[in-house]
Chain A
Amino acid sequence: MSVDVSFTPTLGAENAAPQSRRRSWGGQAAAIALRGGSFVAFAAILLYFSLAAPFFFTLGNIGNVLGQSAILGVLAIGLTVVIIAGGSNVVTGGIDLSVAANMGFSAAVYASVIQLGYGDGPAVLASLSTGALIGAVNAFAVVVVGVVPLLATLAVMNVVAGLELVLTQNTVVPATTDFLSFLSAAGPFGLPVLAYGLLAFTAVATAVVQFTPTGLRLYATGEFPDAARAAGLPVRRLIAGSFLASGVCAGLAGILSVSYLSGSTTGAGDMLLPVVVTALLGTVFSRRLVPTITGTLLSALLVGFLVNGFQLMNISSTLVNGVQGLLIILVVSATTLLRRQEA
């Protein structure tokens, strides 16, 4: 935020005065459009798909989308916590680029532990500890050493991706156990267990981040670090904690991924950009345009519904990338306009 403020006057000065009225009008429109419009747009997309593809609005299909969004959702929620605690400036704020690689490595650890003949208990423990350990390394690099999160987590991402290659030799490690089959099967009402998992996880994360004093402190740390420090908040501990939480989320996503893909597979790194996009896009689903857990969930589901609806309507899914890109440009330009207006 502080960086944003220092940027704004320079940008404002570049634009000639006569245009300022129109800009502020544009900013206001953008604010209104973003605050209410995102929900309207979401509803409109759902409505459109429901009319165009009759199968879309069925419990089974919605359950499928929820289940398919579980891995992305859990990772993006982990990243959201980091963004909340580190501030939402994309360059200098909180970011964890290692989440996807972490997920891949945790999944590989899970599958390898199963291959070695251990049960699900030790595998779950190993996977979550792996995630947490990688989170701790991030926290150390950022909080103790003082490296910018963007660079610190980028480096960790590469190390972790390398570790996964060493562990799996870049091959698929199959794993099937009763617990994994349970996770990838259908639960009550025929909905995937992963769908319930995502909803339950979001509920817990929302409770912690949006409704506890700790959550409030995370926001304070991210948005006004100086004020938070002056108020005596343990800023460093909160930021470290956010990376740890993100790491654990990645470990959890790793477990979900092993169940979904019946083992650990290569190419987890491809997940990184969708996760970042989801977390950034999530801000439009909040009243004050800040990152929130529910906003991130909605953003993950939006992408999930788009991909699903396109497939149901028999439209090439590659178009989803374009739509996603368009949405990001819209969101980023609108928030930029808005910030300028506020300044």
Chain B
Amino acid sequence: MDNEEKSGFGRRELLKLSVLAGTVAAGAGLLRPQPAFAQAGELSLKGKRIGISTAGTDHFFDLQAYNAQIEEVKRLGGEPIAVDAGRNDGKLVAQLQTLIAQKPDAIVQLLGTLTVIDPWLKKARDAGIPVLTIDVGSTNSLNNSTSDNWGIGKDLALQLVSDIGGEGNIVVFNGFYGVTPCAIRYDQLVNVVKYFPKVKIIQPELRDVIPNTVQDAFTQITAILNKYPEKGSIKAVWSAWDIPQLGATQALTAAGRTEIKTYGVDGSPEVLQLVADPSSPAAADVAQQPAELGRVAIQNVARLLAGETLPRETYIPAILANKANVKEVSKKLGIG
């Protein structure tokens, strides 16, 4: 009895211990994200001056990212020094130059032609100012916040393949394979299609152009519809961004071939509107989250100034908007 009790106690003790251990482990598991959360709450830019420079604010994307950065710096208690170059490279450089001389605690550069801004980002770094970027892959930037283009490409391709039931001909615009994000999205499409042998990319692929993207896509799609006149011979049109998609959608509507679906990327408000229209051929558009990009970039600044090491790139997930969820997505993006 004594023994038994002892042993029982021992067993119970063991059980207790193991339960305790389990609880601790589980607690730790629960708690582990907690410190990160607490830290995110503790992020502060109090007393810091953050330079925010943008190539322009004339597109939906830039304006959202720019304003979100300013708001976030203020929210974290810092002072934003925000300059907008209005798509003028001379102004952009002059503003960066003055910004460097102002010696802020960090500079965040949003967009801009790499060859133009890179020498000045280097000068900022030489002057001891940390430089972060949004959508600019510069070696002089400590961290670049950008959308996950692999995810974008995969999501769009899977949506397309599932919409067309895993078989049929698709028309592809592939005019900007030289632009890295476009190349990644295209490669992901090819990767997905590889496992659906009944899906065929119509050759030759189309070349989208800048400028006159919409008109040109309209003309090219109209031409290819004449080449494939019977319904069902084309199932979908894919493009790496949504401005060719806009032209393609208009061409399909004009030709009465609304059974063909169109796919693109960027979440331009006018295309999201088409996705929301039940009778429009626009089936899906992957929207980037410009405001989130801006906020994350500023949070990264706060982390960096708090002594953390930043990853080379921070990926912001993009949201796929299709006929079913486009209303919510638009709301989340602050459109309409």
Q: Which residues of A contact B (CB under 8 A)?
A: 55, 60-61, 64, 67-68, 71, 170, 172, 174, 176, 184, 257, 260-263, 265-267, 270-271, 307-308, 311-312, 314, 316-318
The stretch of B85-93, B199-207, B289-297, B317-325 that contacts the partner chain:
B85-93
Q: Which of B86, B93, B98 sits near A312, CB closer than 8 Å?
A: B98
Provide the bound-state CA to CA distance between A309 and B86, in Å. 18
B79-135 interface with A by 8 A CB criterion:
79-84, 86-91, 93-95, 97-99, 101-102, 113, 115-116, 118-119
Q: A311-B81, A311-B83, A314-B81 are in contact. Are A261 and B116 (CB under 8 A)?
A: yes
- Chain A residues with Cβ below 8 Å from B118 are 262
B59-88 to A contact mask, C-beta < 8 Å, 1/0 = 000000000000000000001111110111
Given contacts A55-B101, A71-B90, A261-B93, 16 further A-B contacts (CB under 8 A): A55-B102, A64-B97, A68-B97, A172-B113, A172-B116, A260-B93, A261-B116, A265-B89, A265-B116, A267-B88, A267-B89, A307-B94, A314-B80, A314-B81, A317-B91, A317-B95
In the complex, the chain A residue whose C-beta lies closest to that of B85 is A317
Q: Are B88 and A262 in contact (CB under 8 A)?
A: no
A257 to B92 Cα, complex, angstroms: 13
**Chain B residues whose C-beta falls within 8 Å of the C-beta of A260 in the assembled complex:** 90, 93
Instruction: Report 6 cross-chain contacts, Cβ distance below 8 Å, ordered by A residue.
Output: A68-B94, A68-B98, A172-B113, A174-B115, A312-B98, A318-B84
Q: How far is the CA of A172 from the CA of B92 in the complex (A)?
A: 15
Q: Which residues of B contact A61 (CB under 8 A)?
A: 98, 101
Q: How far is the CB of A50 from chain B (nearest CB, A)?
A: 15
Known: A61-B101, A311-B81. A262 touches B116 (CB 8 A): yes
Please give me the residue from chain A that is nearest to B79 by CB atom: A314
* Chain A nearest Cβ from B176, distance in angstroms: 13
Contact B113 A317 (CB under 8 A): no
> Which of B89, B99, B101 is close to A261, meaning CB atoms less than 8 Å apart?
B89
B90 touches A271 (CB 8 A): yes
B81 touches A308 (CB 8 A): no
Nearest CB on A from B92, distance (A): 9
Q: Specify which chain A residues have a CB less than 8 angstroms from the CB of B116 in the assembled complex.
A: 172, 261-263, 265
Nearest chain A CB to B227 CB, angstrom units: 29
Q: Which residues from B are CB-within-8-Å of A312? A: 98, 102
Q: Which residues of B contact A308 (CB under 8 A)?
A: 98
Q: Contact residue range for chain B? A: 20 to 34
How many angstroms from the CA of A55 to the CA of B100 in the assembled complex?
12
B121 nearest CB across to chain A (Å): 11
- Residues from chain A with a CB closer than 8 A to the CB of B113 are 172, 265
Expressed in whole angstroms, the minimum distance between the Cβ of A131 and any Cβ of chain B is 18
Please give me the residue from chain B that is nearest to A308 by CB atom.
B98
Bound-state Cα–Cα, A157 to B250, Å: 36
B336 to chain A minimum Cβ distance, whole angstroms, is 27
How far, in Å, is B143 (CB) from chain A's closest CB?
A: 23
Chain A residues near B79: list those with CB within 8 A: 314
User: Which residues in A have their C-beta under 8 angstroms from that of B97?
Assistant: 64, 67-68
B87 touches A267 (CB 8 A): yes
Most buried by B among A55, A172, A265, A312: A265
Complex CA–CA separation, A172 to B115 (angstroms):
8
How distant is the Cα of A228 from the Cα of B94 in the complex, in angstroms?
A: 43
**A263:B102 contact, CB within 8 angstroms:** no
Contact assessment for B87 and A60 in the assembled complex, using a CB-CB cutoff below 8 Å: no
Q: Would you give the shortest CB distance from A30 to chain B, in whole angstroms?
A: 33
Which residues does chain B contribute within 8 Å of A314, judged by CB atoms?
A: 79-82
A290 to B93 Cα, complex, angstroms: 33
Alpha-carbon distance between A271 and B86 when the two chains are bound, in angstroms: 13
Q: Are B98 and A262 in contact (CB under 8 A)?
A: no
